[in-house]
Amino acid sequence: MTSARRKAAETMALTDVVVEVLDARCPEASSNPMIRELRLARQRPCLRLLNKADLADPVATKAWLEFYNKQPGVKAVAISCKKPGDAAKVPSLCQGLAPHRNDGVKPLRIMIMGIPNVGKSTLLNALVKKRVAAVGDEPAVTKQQQRIDLGPCLTLVDTPGLMWPKIEHDTDGYMLAASHAIGTNAVMEEEVATFLAGLLLEHYADRISARYGFPVAGVDAVGVIEGIAKKRGCLIRGRGGEFDIEKASLILLTDYRGGALGRISLETPETRAAMLAAAATPQSC
Protein backbone atom coordinates (compact mmCIF):
# COMPACT_ATOMS: atom_id res chain seq x y z
CA MET A 1 0.00 0.00 0.00
CA THR A 2 2.82 2.40 0.84
CA SER A 3 4.54 1.70 -2.47
CA ALA A 4 1.26 2.10 -4.41
CA ARG A 5 0.55 5.40 -2.67
CA ARG A 6 4.04 6.72 -3.45
CA LYS A 7 3.75 5.71 -7.10
CA ALA A 8 0.30 7.29 -7.36
CA ALA A 9 1.61 10.52 -5.83
CA GLU A 10 4.51 10.63 -8.30
CA THR A 11 2.18 10.14 -11.25
CA MET A 12 -0.33 12.68 -9.97
CA ALA A 13 2.40 15.31 -9.90
CA LEU A 14 2.52 14.96 -13.69
CA THR A 15 -1.26 14.84 -14.12
CA ASP A 16 -3.72 17.58 -15.08
CA VAL A 17 -7.00 15.88 -14.23
CA VAL A 18 -7.81 12.93 -11.97
CA VAL A 19 -10.62 10.72 -13.23
CA GLU A 20 -12.02 8.79 -10.29
CA VAL A 21 -14.25 5.90 -11.32
CA LEU A 22 -16.91 5.03 -8.74
CA ASP A 23 -19.63 2.41 -8.55
CA ALA A 24 -22.86 4.36 -9.03
CA ARG A 25 -24.68 1.96 -6.71
CA CYS A 26 -22.46 2.95 -3.75
CA PRO A 27 -20.39 6.01 -4.73
CA GLU A 28 -19.01 7.01 -1.34
CA ALA A 29 -18.38 3.46 -0.18
CA SER A 30 -16.42 2.88 -3.40
CA SER A 31 -14.33 6.05 -3.07
CA ASN A 32 -10.82 5.52 -1.70
CA PRO A 33 -10.11 8.44 0.69
CA MET A 34 -6.45 8.28 -0.34
CA ILE A 35 -7.37 9.49 -3.84
CA ARG A 36 -9.04 12.59 -2.43
CA GLU A 37 -6.08 13.26 -0.14
CA LEU A 38 -3.56 12.98 -2.96
CA ARG A 39 -5.42 15.15 -5.44
CA LEU A 40 -6.17 17.85 -2.85
CA ALA A 41 -2.50 17.90 -1.85
CA ARG A 42 -1.63 18.51 -5.51
CA GLN A 43 -4.69 20.72 -6.08
CA ARG A 44 -5.80 18.61 -9.02
CA PRO A 45 -9.38 18.85 -10.36
CA CYS A 46 -11.39 15.66 -10.40
CA LEU A 47 -13.87 14.15 -12.81
CA ARG A 48 -15.96 11.69 -10.82
CA LEU A 49 -17.53 9.06 -13.03
CA LEU A 50 -20.47 7.22 -11.47
CA ASN A 51 -20.02 4.08 -13.53
CA LYS A 52 -22.52 1.23 -13.85
CA ALA A 53 -25.26 3.85 -13.74
CA ASP A 54 -27.42 1.47 -15.77
CA LEU A 55 -27.52 -0.78 -12.67
CA ALA A 56 -28.16 2.01 -10.15
CA ASP A 57 -31.40 3.64 -9.02
CA PRO A 58 -31.69 6.77 -11.21
CA VAL A 59 -33.24 8.79 -8.38
CA ALA A 60 -30.31 8.02 -6.09
CA THR A 61 -27.83 8.71 -8.88
CA LYS A 62 -29.36 12.13 -9.52
CA ALA A 63 -29.01 12.95 -5.82
CA TRP A 64 -25.35 11.89 -5.86
CA LEU A 65 -24.61 14.03 -8.92
CA GLU A 66 -26.10 17.06 -7.21
CA PHE A 67 -24.08 16.27 -4.09
CA TYR A 68 -20.74 15.95 -5.89
CA ASN A 69 -21.22 18.83 -8.31
CA LYS A 70 -21.49 21.23 -5.37
CA GLN A 71 -17.92 20.36 -4.36
CA PRO A 72 -15.12 22.69 -5.55
CA GLY A 73 -12.90 21.34 -8.30
CA VAL A 74 -15.20 18.40 -8.94
CA LYS A 75 -17.33 17.50 -11.94
CA ALA A 76 -19.53 14.41 -11.66
CA VAL A 77 -21.36 12.52 -14.40
CA ALA A 78 -23.18 9.20 -14.55
CA ILE A 79 -22.06 6.79 -17.24
CA SER A 80 -21.79 3.18 -18.26
CA CYS A 81 -18.24 2.50 -19.43
CA LYS A 82 -19.57 -0.34 -21.57
CA LYS A 83 -21.33 2.23 -23.75
CA PRO A 84 -18.81 3.78 -26.17
CA GLY A 85 -20.83 6.96 -26.39
CA ASP A 86 -20.59 7.51 -22.65
CA ALA A 87 -16.86 6.91 -22.53
CA ALA A 88 -16.31 9.25 -25.49
CA LYS A 89 -17.50 12.19 -23.39
CA VAL A 90 -14.66 11.84 -20.90
CA PRO A 91 -11.85 13.71 -22.74
CA SER A 92 -13.95 16.82 -23.33
CA LEU A 93 -15.16 16.79 -19.74
CA CYS A 94 -11.55 16.60 -18.56
CA GLN A 95 -10.59 19.39 -20.93
CA GLY A 96 -13.16 21.61 -19.28
CA LEU A 97 -11.45 21.03 -15.93
CA ALA A 98 -8.01 21.91 -17.33
CA PRO A 99 -8.46 24.79 -19.80
CA HIS A 100 -4.75 25.62 -19.60
CA ARG A 101 -4.10 22.40 -21.55
CA ASN A 102 -6.23 23.45 -24.49
CA ASP A 103 -3.52 25.22 -26.46
CA GLY A 104 -2.74 22.37 -28.86
CA VAL A 105 0.87 22.30 -27.66
CA LYS A 106 0.89 20.43 -24.39
CA PRO A 107 -1.10 17.17 -24.11
CA LEU A 108 -3.90 16.84 -21.59
CA ARG A 109 -2.69 14.35 -18.98
CA ILE A 110 -5.43 12.22 -17.40
CA MET A 111 -4.95 9.79 -14.53
CA ILE A 112 -7.65 7.12 -14.11
CA MET A 113 -8.06 5.97 -10.51
CA GLY A 114 -10.47 3.98 -8.38
CA ILE A 115 -10.86 0.88 -6.25
CA PRO A 116 -10.89 -2.61 -7.81
CA ASN A 117 -13.66 -3.68 -10.17
CA VAL A 118 -15.37 -0.33 -10.74
CA GLY A 119 -14.63 -0.26 -14.48
CA LYS A 120 -11.36 1.64 -14.91
CA SER A 121 -9.94 -0.75 -17.49
CA THR A 122 -13.26 -0.93 -19.34
CA LEU A 123 -13.18 2.86 -19.57
CA LEU A 124 -9.62 2.84 -20.87
CA ASN A 125 -10.42 0.24 -23.54
CA ALA A 126 -13.42 2.29 -24.65
CA LEU A 127 -11.34 5.46 -24.90
CA VAL A 128 -8.57 3.75 -26.86
CA LYS A 129 -11.14 1.81 -28.91
CA LYS A 130 -9.26 -1.46 -28.51
CA ARG A 131 -8.39 -3.90 -25.77
CA VAL A 132 -5.30 -2.53 -24.04
CA ALA A 133 -6.26 -3.40 -20.47
CA ALA A 134 -7.45 -6.67 -19.02
CA VAL A 135 -11.02 -6.57 -17.74
CA GLY A 136 -13.13 -8.94 -15.73
CA ASP A 137 -15.86 -9.10 -13.09
CA GLU A 138 -13.28 -9.77 -10.40
CA PRO A 139 -11.32 -7.39 -8.17
CA ALA A 140 -7.70 -6.46 -8.91
CA VAL A 141 -7.48 -7.36 -12.62
CA THR A 142 -5.12 -4.46 -13.40
CA LYS A 143 -1.75 -5.10 -11.72
CA GLN A 144 0.35 -2.04 -12.62
CA GLN A 145 0.16 1.44 -14.07
CA GLN A 146 0.16 1.79 -17.83
CA ARG A 147 0.48 4.95 -19.90
CA ILE A 148 -1.13 5.38 -23.29
CA ASP A 149 -0.73 8.33 -25.66
CA LEU A 150 -3.86 9.08 -27.67
CA GLY A 151 -2.23 11.32 -30.21
CA PRO A 152 -0.38 14.56 -29.40
CA CYS A 153 -3.19 16.07 -27.33
CA LEU A 154 -4.13 13.39 -24.82
CA THR A 155 -2.26 11.05 -22.48
CA LEU A 156 -3.92 8.48 -20.22
CA VAL A 157 -2.54 6.62 -17.23
CA ASP A 158 -4.51 3.63 -15.96
CA THR A 159 -3.74 2.62 -12.37
CA PRO A 160 -4.35 -0.59 -10.41
CA GLY A 161 -7.37 -0.66 -8.14
CA LEU A 162 -6.34 0.72 -4.76
CA MET A 163 -8.06 -0.26 -1.54
CA TRP A 164 -7.29 1.51 1.70
CA PRO A 165 -5.69 -0.46 4.57
CA LYS A 166 -8.76 -0.59 6.81
CA ILE A 167 -12.41 -0.03 5.96
CA GLU A 168 -13.67 2.17 8.77
CA HIS A 169 -17.36 1.36 8.54
CA ASP A 170 -18.73 -2.20 8.40
CA THR A 171 -21.56 -0.99 6.17
CA ASP A 172 -19.04 0.10 3.55
CA GLY A 173 -17.41 -3.32 3.64
CA TYR A 174 -20.72 -5.03 3.05
CA MET A 175 -21.64 -2.70 0.20
CA LEU A 176 -18.26 -3.25 -1.46
CA ALA A 177 -18.50 -7.01 -1.05
CA ALA A 178 -22.04 -7.08 -2.41
CA SER A 179 -20.90 -5.07 -5.44
CA HIS A 180 -17.86 -7.35 -5.93
CA ALA A 181 -15.14 -4.79 -5.20
CA ILE A 182 -13.93 -7.04 -2.40
CA GLY A 183 -13.15 -10.64 -3.32
CA THR A 184 -15.39 -13.44 -2.11
CA ASN A 185 -12.71 -14.69 0.26
CA ALA A 186 -12.63 -11.41 2.16
CA VAL A 187 -16.16 -11.52 3.57
CA MET A 188 -18.50 -14.45 4.00
CA GLU A 189 -21.12 -14.42 1.26
CA GLU A 190 -23.90 -15.34 3.67
CA GLU A 191 -23.24 -12.27 5.82
CA VAL A 192 -23.08 -10.03 2.76
CA ALA A 193 -26.27 -11.49 1.31
CA THR A 194 -28.05 -11.02 4.64
CA PHE A 195 -26.96 -7.38 4.69
CA LEU A 196 -28.17 -6.93 1.11
CA ALA A 197 -31.48 -8.63 1.88
CA GLY A 198 -32.05 -6.27 4.79
CA LEU A 199 -31.35 -3.24 2.63
CA LEU A 200 -33.66 -4.53 -0.09
CA LEU A 201 -36.44 -5.08 2.45
CA GLU A 202 -36.08 -1.48 3.58
CA HIS A 203 -35.94 0.20 0.18
CA TYR A 204 -36.85 -2.27 -2.59
CA ALA A 205 -39.11 -4.90 -1.00
CA ASP A 206 -41.25 -5.17 -4.13
CA ARG A 207 -38.21 -6.30 -6.13
CA ILE A 208 -37.80 -9.34 -3.90
CA SER A 209 -41.39 -10.46 -4.40
CA ALA A 210 -41.24 -9.81 -8.13
CA ARG A 211 -38.02 -11.76 -8.61
CA TYR A 212 -38.51 -14.69 -6.26
CA GLY A 213 -42.27 -15.01 -5.99
CA PHE A 214 -42.97 -14.87 -2.28
CA PRO A 215 -44.48 -12.14 -0.05
CA VAL A 216 -42.09 -10.28 2.22
CA ALA A 217 -44.52 -8.87 4.78
CA GLY A 218 -43.24 -9.81 8.23
CA VAL A 219 -40.09 -11.39 6.79
CA ASP A 220 -36.63 -10.43 8.04
CA ALA A 221 -33.33 -10.55 6.13
CA VAL A 222 -32.60 -14.16 7.05
CA GLY A 223 -36.13 -15.04 6.02
CA VAL A 224 -35.47 -13.57 2.57
CA ILE A 225 -32.49 -15.88 2.07
CA GLU A 226 -34.50 -18.85 3.29
CA GLY A 227 -37.36 -17.88 0.98
CA ILE A 228 -34.99 -17.83 -1.98
CA ALA A 229 -33.65 -21.23 -0.96
CA LYS A 230 -37.17 -22.63 -0.80
CA LYS A 231 -38.29 -21.15 -4.11
CA ARG A 232 -35.12 -22.13 -5.98
CA GLY A 233 -34.81 -25.60 -4.46
CA CYS A 234 -31.55 -24.89 -2.65
CA LEU A 235 -31.38 -27.90 -0.37
CA ILE A 236 -28.44 -29.74 1.16
CA ARG A 237 -28.40 -33.41 0.19
CA GLY A 238 -28.76 -35.85 3.02
CA ARG A 239 -29.82 -33.17 5.49
CA GLY A 240 -33.54 -33.81 5.50
CA GLY A 241 -34.52 -30.82 3.42
CA GLU A 242 -32.19 -28.36 5.15
CA PHE A 243 -31.80 -25.12 3.17
CA ASP A 244 -28.51 -24.47 1.39
CA ILE A 245 -28.12 -20.91 2.63
CA GLU A 246 -24.76 -20.46 0.93
CA LYS A 247 -26.22 -21.27 -2.49
CA ALA A 248 -29.27 -19.07 -1.92
CA SER A 249 -27.01 -16.24 -0.80
CA LEU A 250 -25.00 -16.49 -4.01
CA ILE A 251 -28.22 -16.38 -6.05
CA LEU A 252 -29.22 -13.09 -4.40
CA LEU A 253 -25.76 -11.56 -4.82
CA THR A 254 -25.52 -12.65 -8.45
CA ASP A 255 -28.96 -11.23 -9.23
CA TYR A 256 -28.03 -7.90 -7.64
CA ARG A 257 -24.65 -7.67 -9.37
CA GLY A 258 -26.10 -8.51 -12.76
CA GLY A 259 -29.13 -6.24 -12.54
CA ALA A 260 -31.74 -9.01 -12.41
CA LEU A 261 -33.34 -7.28 -9.41
CA GLY A 262 -33.63 -4.02 -11.32
CA ARG A 263 -31.78 -0.76 -10.81
CA ILE A 264 -30.73 -0.61 -7.16
CA SER A 265 -28.56 1.76 -5.15
CA LEU A 266 -27.13 0.78 -1.79
CA GLU A 267 -26.70 4.31 -0.48
CA THR A 268 -27.86 7.88 -1.04
CA PRO A 269 -26.41 11.14 0.30
CA GLU A 270 -29.09 11.05 3.00
CA THR A 271 -28.46 7.47 4.12
CA ARG A 272 -24.72 8.15 4.02
CA ALA A 273 -25.09 11.15 6.28
CA ALA A 274 -27.27 9.17 8.67
CA MET A 275 -24.75 6.32 8.80
CA LEU A 276 -21.86 8.68 9.53
CA ALA A 277 -23.87 10.50 12.19
CA ALA A 278 -24.73 7.21 13.87
CA ALA A 279 -21.10 6.10 13.74
CA ALA A 280 -20.02 9.37 15.37
CA THR A 281 -22.50 9.08 18.22
CA PRO A 282 -20.95 7.56 21.37
CA GLN A 283 -22.52 4.24 22.27
CA SER A 284 -23.96 4.02 25.80
CA CYS A 285 -23.06 1.03 27.95
pLDDT in tens, the chain (285 residues): 677 778 888 889 999 999 999 999 999 999 999 999 999 999 999 999 999 999 999 999 999 999 999 999 999 999 998 888 899 999 999 999 998 877 767 889 999 999 988 988 889 888 887 666 555 544 444 557 888 888 778 888 888 888 888 899 999 999 999 999 887 654 589 999 999 999 999 999 999 999 999 999 999 999 999 999 999 999 998 777 899 999 999 999 999 999 999 999 999 999 999 999 999 887 654
CA proximity to 142, closest of 164, 157, 127? 157
Report the pLDDT value the prediction gives residue 140, as an integer from 0 to 100: 45
pLDDT digits (tens, 9 = 90+) for 172-224: 999 999 999 887 654 589 999 999 999 999 999 999 999 999 999 999 999 99
| CATH classification number, 2-158, choose in 3.40.50.1950, 3.40.50.300, 3.30.565.10, 1.10.150.530 | 3.40.50.300
Same fold, 2-158 and 170-280: no
By the 8 A CB rule, do 224 and 230 touch? no
The strand pairing partners of 251, in sequence order, are: none
Measured distance CA(84)–CA(196) in Å, rounded: 31
Domain-by-domain residue ranges, the chain?
2-158, 170-280
Report the pLDDT value the prediction gives residue 184, as an integer from 0 to 100: 61
Question: What CATH topology corresponds to 170-280?
Answer: Conserved Hypothetical Protein Ylqf; Chain: A; domain 2 (1.10.1580)
Report the pLDDT value the prediction gives residue 186, as an integer from 0 to 100: 47
